[in-house]
A = this chain, B = another copy of it.
Amino acid sequence: MLAADLNELVTRVGPGTEMGGLLRRYWLPALLSSEVPEPDGPPVRVRMLGEDLVAFRDSTGQVGLIDAYCPHRRAPMFFGRNEEAGLRCVYHGWKFDVGGNCVDLPSEPPGSLFRQKINIDAYMTWEGGGLVWAYLGPRAEAPPPPDYEWLRSPATHRRVSKTLEHANYLQALEGGIDTAHSSFVHNNEIDNPSRLKSIDVHPKLEVEKTAYGFRYAGIRRIGDNRQYVRAYHFLMPAMQMRAAMLDKEGEPRKLPSLRGHIWVPVDDEWTLVYNWICSIDPEKEISDEVWRKHEQAAGRGEDDYIPGSYRLKRNLSNDYFVDRELQRTKTYTGITGLNTQDYAVQEGMGPIVDRSKEHLGSSDKAIIAARRMLLEALRTIKEGRPPAGSDPATSRGVRPAEAIIKESERWQDAMADLLEARW
């Protein structure tokens, strides 16, 4: 349960809000690198943290992220001309470079000093992992760019996609870090008793605070004195990492991988979910075919999107194409697509869930921990210190893991080796 005023505090992210201020102290994905594939190509709209921006790749290959509106009379920079080393507003030809400097102002007479007084708001950007990351906070406080293991892996070994979700970032994040729900909403074989997550549907949850957020494990007793452990990381402010080492019945996967989501607020009611995957086996690339199947299983196949958008065809307006007969006989939800199932429960709460009406149980430990950590970080920055996890050094060595170990073992010890970054 979260009182109404705290719920407001943690969910509002626009300019001038407290949580918006905290999120602006981290590097966050702003768009896929592939959205601005070529120098001097068309600019792209970006909306994040309630701000309307425009991204463009300049002649040198650098990505600019600037105010969506020209400082002259607020014409839309989206219709701008991406010319030699700058984006030019089509209204009166004012041109700005990636740093926000006005580099040409042809509507004023030659010799005018007016241009020197003009600039457009521009944010710091950095590219890595197929993403353009942006820092929207005070420049003086900017930490070094991210250094997660998957960002260091070869480009051949990782992939990333993005999906638009109609829910507040925290609601999406809480669904993502929840481990207990896999036993229910993602149970696509209601008649399969050997499915690991169906053997024990009330996993024990252990949470350990760290410098970057916390690591936590969902522990299921699966018989024969064995326990099935999924060890995750929550990385401030809004990332989860998990591992896919075993198949659903506990056998080793052919292509073991790390996976994760980053939940970036578009505004208070919409979230862009960045989905990444990274092979941990140097011998095994993520091929086009593997990636295509992975995304299809998640419900994010190429044909699952509304063309020209990052919104899924299966959404709340059409009840996610729920098939009640399928639900009755084969799968828990009757909804196809693993993440589509997540969206159904997350978006189905309404865009900003009323946490004053919830009743949390022992399965919600990680969620409670994440909320506390976000609230604590609000205090940290008020005290003038950098918030937890903003320093990339805290998370560079982190790796999630998944294993079956003996009941007598502590996962922290038995899986220590697996939990270290190798890329």
In the docked arrangement, what's the CA distance between A92 and B203, Å? 12
In the docked arrangement, what's the CA distance between A334 and B88, Å? 13
In the docked arrangement, what's the CA distance between A393 and B142, Å? 64
A208 an interface residue at 8 Å Cβ cutoff? Answer: no
Nearest neighbor of A347 in chain B, beta-carbon distance: B76
The 8 Å CB contact of A348, one of B41, B42, B76, B341, is B76
In the docked arrangement, what's the CA distance between A185 and B92, Å? 7
A310 an interface residue at 8 Å Cβ cutoff? Answer: no
Give the contacts of A335-351 with B (CB-CB under 8 A).
335, 341, 344-345, 348-350
Interface residues of A (CB under 8 A from B): 41-42, 69, 71-76, 78-79, 81, 90-93, 105-110, 112, 114, 117-118, 174, 180-181, 183-185, 201-202, 204, 319-320, 322, 324, 327-328, 332-335, 341, 344-345, 348-350, 353-355, 357-364, 367
Q: Are A114 and B361 in contact (CB under 8 A)?
A: yes
Task: Kindly report how many copies of this chain are found in the complex they form together.
Answer: 3
The 8 Å CB contact of A202, one of B71, B107, B341, is B107
3 residue pairs, one from A and one from B, having the closest CB atoms? A76-B348, A75-B345, A42-B324
In the docked arrangement, what's the CA distance between A174 and B74, Å? 12
Chain B residues near A358: list those with CB within 8 A: 71-74
Q: Are A81 and B327 in contact (CB under 8 A)?
A: yes
The 8 Å CB contact of A333, one of B90, B319, B334, B350, is B90
CB-defined A-B contacts under 8 Å, sample of 16: A74-B349, A74-B357, A74-B358, A75-B345, A79-B319, A79-B334, A79-B345, A90-B341, A90-B344, A91-B184, A93-B184, A105-B361, A107-B202, A109-B362, A110-B202, A112-B361
Chain B residues near A319: list those with CB within 8 A: 78-79
Nearest neighbor of A342 in chain B, beta-carbon distance: B91
The 8 Å CB contact of A107, one of B79, B108, B201, is B201
Given contacts A92-B184, A332-B90, contact A345 B108 (CB under 8 A): no
The 8 Å CB contact of A180, one of B107, B344, B362, is B107
Given contacts A91-B184, A107-B183, contact A364 B73 (CB under 8 A): yes
Chain B residues near A350: list those with CB within 8 A: 74
